[in-house]
Amino acid sequence: MPFIIKKTIAVFLFTCVAHVVKAEDGYELWMRYVKVSDNNLLLSYKKSISSPAVLGNSATIQAAKNELEKGLSGLLNRSYTLSSTIANNTSFIAGTAVSSTFISANIPKEELAKTGSDGFIIKTQAGKIIITANSDIGVLYGIFHFLRLLQTQQNIGQLNITSVPKLKHRILNHWDNLNRTVERGYAGASIWNWHKLPGFIDKRYIDYARANASIGINGAVLNNVNSNAAILTDAYLQKVKALADIMRVYGIRVYLSARFSAPIETGGLTTADPLNEAVQQWWKQKARQIYSIIPDFGGFLVKANSEGQPGPQDYKRTHADGANMLADAVAPYNGIVIWRAFVYAAENPVDRHKQAYDDFVPLDGKFRSNVMVQVKNGAIDFMPREPFHPIFGAMPKTALMMEFQITQEYTGQSTSLVYLGPLYKEVLNSDTYSKGKGSTVARVIDGSTDNHTLTGMAGVSNIGSDINWCGHPFAQANWYAFGRLCWNHDLDSDAIADEWIRMTFSNKRNVVQKVKEMMLGSRETMVSYMNPLGLHHIMGTGHHYGPAPWVKELQRPEWNPVYYHKADSTGIGFNRTVSGSNAIAQYSSAVQTQWNDVNTCDEKLLLWFHHVPWNHKMKNGQTLWNELCNQYYDGAEKVKQLQQTWSSVKQEIDTEQFNVVAQLLKIQQEEAKWWRNACLLYFQTFSKQPIPATFEQPDKTLEYYQGLQFPFAPGN
């Protein structure tokens, strides 16, 4: 072979290898552990971390050692082998006080006592960095936090950190089915390969557990709330055990969604009546079996009497009757029951906003002490913007659990860059006024308003089999933000975005500043081109992809978008004031005062609570119609700005990741225009007013948009 050809091939292969080394496919999430780019900090870190020791020999401590070795080797570009004992030159020590007399001598007992079972301390003491906790899982959490400090290039010269989770149960809800489809999943198939379990353990299960532990998530509901009773059979419980054995090492308990009718479907009974003694005994025996296989099983999550699911109301019993039956079954094993408050019925003519409150608030104080009522952040269904759910603050005798949606069912699915941190914070910071000013939703769910110790937050998972876990690279930030807020709901979405960008893309100031700007504005941008001014539930039905405000022929009235926007010749919006459905009466008087008057209501929620004339004068002087046009066009324009900002950091971002996001932003731009044009053309048939001439006019007809079909949209 001629020399020139050999040389050309060599150069080509080198280029390919170099590209492969650099390419970032997103699999490592925020745990990439790339070399610290600041040389001064790098030298400082190396000096501070010499001969590190991690003390103990449990499986969890071994996981902590593995993580620290992996993290330090990557971040500090030096191979580390961790010691299990303290030497004279040891400058970094991790372990419980029980594992080391040095730690117990240098960290006061009263300080450790404050950290509980999961918290940790990171402290510079006696010239050494000490990470300690009351439990091995606390040590693991502390090591992940320490690695985060290095990843985000923080000063570790004099550390004095005490971190304690504000919520006890920090849980991902997987809406994964046994056939590996994922309801409202936009990142491929389920990561649980039930067919190959328990014999085959995918490495992905371990990395999933690592990722959750890194942000403090300590629970996973493995199957869909629209449950299949087969998950409780002997064969599947062995598969669940295999996953539980992996999760346990990382402090994660597994939970199962239980189908209320399981005693009939798999138990041979003729009833599932919660007051029937045979049914009660069946569940007690099932709990005994589960705990004999999985001693630390977390408990059951139940969706009952909602959207066709079986439940206690089938037998004229209450939700408390059903929840308490299951709670009694798991109570001897310290298990809990999480009972979803997402209920509404087609035969109930009452405003859907009111139905969950009407069903559950009269039951306050009637649930067992190991029952949590899991409440969606808003009363309808994970809309891009909703007022907080009125149940928060209305059930002081009941432990309430927040349910957020991480998967982007209504917020752009896998094609849109929408950072949900601001949405989560908006809800958590909302004041219920249930115990006076300052009774925020966050304080309701962390137990501080009503002295509850059973506390928690759940997030509907956005995880699938895609190589980057979440479909859209930026969707990883929503998983990350959820976990960080579970641990500490006082963190702000800006700080969380800053961490995630530094750990995922770069610590360079220019990149952090510009990408954070994109993220922090993305949710508001999406609301503007989808559901401005309090519009809601106007998406395509079934698949929930794209706009379809015209749908009105579905059998159940509350499944039709026209039910929610109520556009007519006089105006648009759902009147939930005293003169309408009076849903506003479910909130405290202080909240009612904020929203009851059309002239004082926060305009971001205007059409949620009011039916407003098309020519109503907005606070900026525009008519409602013109402001609606402004919002839709502004949202679509801001997606263009997202594209431009992303292009400006092209040279600083891994090529593969850059190209993936650039392509998705192009899709998002087309979808924003689609939402804008379709909605305005439809609402224009009622307003009879023109889209202002200063705006680019729609290039397709309303009939074109109404004719679009998506029978194979994902997640349906």
CA dihedral sign of residues 214, 157, 513, 27: negative
Q: How many structural domains are present in the chain?
A: 3
CA angle 542, 545, 551 (to 5 degrees): 55
CA distance 401 to 623: 40
Are 109 and 219 in the same domain?
no
Are 184 and 151 in the same domain?
no
The answer on pLDDT for 257 being more than 50 is: yes
Question: Is the residue at 517 inside a domain?
Answer: no
Question: Is the residue at 587 inside a domain?
Answer: no
Are 173 and 70 in the same domain?
no
Across the strands, what pairs with 340?
374
Enclosing H/E stretch for 337: strand 336-340
Enclosing H/E stretch for 457: strand 456-460
pLDDT band at 2 (very low <50, low <70, confident <90, very high): very low
The answer on pLDDT for 17 being more than 60 is: no
| Strand 169-173 versus strand 160-163 pairing type | unpaired
Domain boundary among 504, 519, 551: 504
Which pLDDT score, from 0 to 100, does residue 14 have? 38
CB 330 within 8 A of CB 286: no
The answer on pLDDT for 15 being more than 60 is: no
Question: Is the residue at 714 inside a domain?
Answer: no
Query: By C-alpha distance, which of 213, 257, 222 is closest to 243?
Result: 222
Enclosing H/E stretch for 175: none
Please write the tens of the pLDDT for every residue from 522-534: 999 999 999 999 9
Q: Where would I find the H helices in 554-654?
A: 562-565, 589-595, 606-609, 624-648
pTM of the model: 0.96
Please write the tens of the pLDDT for every residue from 133-176: 999 999 999 999 999 999 999 999 999 999 999 999 999 999 99
Mean pLDDT, the chain, whole residue set: 95
Enclosing H/E stretch for 19: helix 3-22
**Residues contacting residue 397 through CB under 8 Å, at least 6 positions apart:** 364, 365, 450
Are 151 and 237 in the same domain?
no
Query: Higher model confidence: residue 539 or residue 89?
Result: 539
Are 377 and 328 in the same domain?
yes
Burial, 425: exposed, middle or buried (Cβ in 10 Å; 0-12, 13-18, 19+)? buried
Which pLDDT score, from 0 to 100, does residue 347 have? 86
The answer on pLDDT for 19 being more than 50 is: no
CA distance 526 to 672: 8
Find the domain containing 185 and state its range: 169-504
For 362-390, what is the mean pLDDT? 98
Question: Is the residue at 4 inside a domain?
Answer: no
Please write the tens of the pLDDT for every residue from 56-70: 999 999 999 999 999
pLDDT band at 6 (very low <50, low <70, confident <90, very high): very low
Are 237 and 204 in the same domain?
yes
DSSP single-letter state for residue 230: G
Query: Higher model confidence: residue 289 or residue 2?
Result: 289
Question: Is the residue at 64 inside a domain?
Answer: yes
Which pLDDT score, from 0 to 100, does residue 11 have? 39
Q: Where would I find the H helices in 158-313?
A: 203-214, 234-249, 262-265, 277-293
Which pLDDT score, from 0 to 100, does residue 537 have? 98
Amino acid at 194: W
pLDDT band at 716 (very low <50, low <70, confident <90, very high): confident
CA angle 265, 266, 269 (to 5 degrees): 70
DSSP single-letter state for residue 613: E
Which pLDDT score, from 0 to 100, does residue 598 have? 96
For 120-142, what is the mean pLDDT? 97
CATH number of the domain enclosing 452:
3.20.20.80
- Catalytic site residues? 307, 381, 409
Are 292 and 150 in the same domain?
no
Question: Is the residue at 216 inside a domain?
Answer: yes
Which of 47-51, 89-93, 429-433 holds the top average pLDDT?
Answer: 429-433
Please write the tens of the pLDDT for every residue from 342-370: 999 888 999 999 999 999 999 999 999 99
For 246-272, what is the mean pLDDT? 98
Which pLDDT score, from 0 to 100, does residue 345 have? 87
Are 187 and 91 in the same domain?
no
Domain boundary among 102, 134, 163: 163
Are 634 and 687 in the same domain?
yes
CATH number of the domain enclosing 556:
3.90.1330.10
For 172-186, what is the mean pLDDT? 98
- Helix (H/G/I), strand (E/B), else coil: 284: helix
The answer on pLDDT for 649 being more than 70 is: yes
CA distance 143 to 158: 16
Q: List strand residue ranges (DSSP E) for 334-376, in order.
A: 336-340, 371-376
CB 120 within 8 A of CB 133: yes
pLDDT band at 635 (very low <50, low <70, confident <90, very high): very high
DSSP single-letter state for residue 258: P
Domain boundary among 146, 163, 180: 163
The tokens of 452 are what?
Answer: 């509850």
Are 351 and 397 in the same domain?
yes
**How far from 107 is each of 89, 122, 172, 218, 234, CA to CA, in Å?**
20, 10, 33, 26, 47
| Strand 371-376 versus strand 399-405 pairing type | parallel
Please write the tens of the pLDDT for every residue from 320-329: 999 999 999 9
CA distance 101 to 429: 43
Question: Is the residue at 214 inside a domain?
Answer: yes
Are 192 and 159 in the same domain?
no
Enclosing H/E stretch for 255: strand 253-257
- Helix (H/G/I), strand (E/B), else coil: 49: coil
pLDDT band at 536 (very low <50, low <70, confident <90, very high): very high
CATH number of the domain enclosing 79:
3.30.379.10
Question: Is the residue at 521 inside a domain?
Answer: no
Are 209 and 131 in the same domain?
no
The tokens of 126 are what?
Answer: 């006696």
Query: By C-alpha distance, which of 160, 154, 165, 152 is closest to 132?
Result: 160
Please write the tens of the pLDDT for every residue from 496-512: 999 999 999 999 999 99
